[in-house]
Amino acid sequence: MLTSLYVPGHSWLHRAPVGGKVLGLLVATTLLLAWRDPAAPALGAVVVAAVHLGAGLGVRRLLAQVWALRWVVAVLAVLQWWAAGPREAVVVVGGLLVAILAAGVVTATTRIEAMMDAVVGALGPLRRVGVDPDRVALALGLTIRTVPALTGIAREVADARAARGMGRSPRALLVPLVVRAVRHADAVGDALVARGVDDGPGE
């Protein structure tokens, strides 16, 4: 669902300005990648854990996030060890893990609306070179809106498959899912046209 990544709260990090959080994330991850030493992910991990707990997100959520990444970490660690040695494996995989956790902390403490406003604000100066911030916001909004819409379609298609007694046929799931997703996209396109999205600026 829309807000599944956001954890409602009133901590200092929830109240911090979105721009500051995104900028901080950018600086932290850049440093993490630039400082090619095993100390970087170690220090990063301590900082991320401290910020995570400081924002009231809890130990359980932090451990769950690490656990969710276990396969990615395992595969990358093996590959890096084999290709570049143990030290490089710790730097690259550790850095990646810390960066993902840090991004997760920002996502968990920032509402989507606030994030969209920040994106539109930040893109404002790019208007002069032809970037339309409203278009970017629309694309973001549509993406977020489409996730539950597609989940709903997938559920209906799976139900229809079960009702027809084709419980395991991948074709009975994928074909109608794709067809209905395209039809949904068509309908959304019509609605956008009808709401004047392609009209250009007002007269």
| Site of interaction with another protein (CB under 8 A) | 1-3, 112-113, 134, 138, 141-142, 144-145, 148-149, 151-152, 184, 187-188, 190-196, 199-203
User: 83 vs 197, which CB is nearer to another protein?
Assistant: 197
User: 16 vs 144, which CB is nearer to another protein?
Assistant: 144
Task: Output b/e per residue, 93-113; b: 16+ Cβ within 10 A.
Answer: bbbbbbbbbbebbbebbbeee
User: 2 vs 83, which CB is nearer to another protein?
Assistant: 2
Give the Cα separation of 87 and 186 in Å (integer): 51
CB of 2 to another protein, least distance (A): 4
Name the one residue in this structure whose structure tokens are 């002069």: 128
CB of 158 to another protein, least distance (A): 17
User: 165 vs 196, which CB is nearer to another protein?
Assistant: 196
CB of 138 to another protein, least distance (A): 7
CB of 199 to another protein, least distance (A): 4
**Residues in CB range of 1: below 8 A, 6 or more apart:** 148
Q: Is the torsion defined by CA of 196, 197, 198, 199 positive or negative?
A: positive
Q: Long-range contact list for 183-187, CB < 8 A, 24+ apart?
A: 184/149, 184/150, 184/153
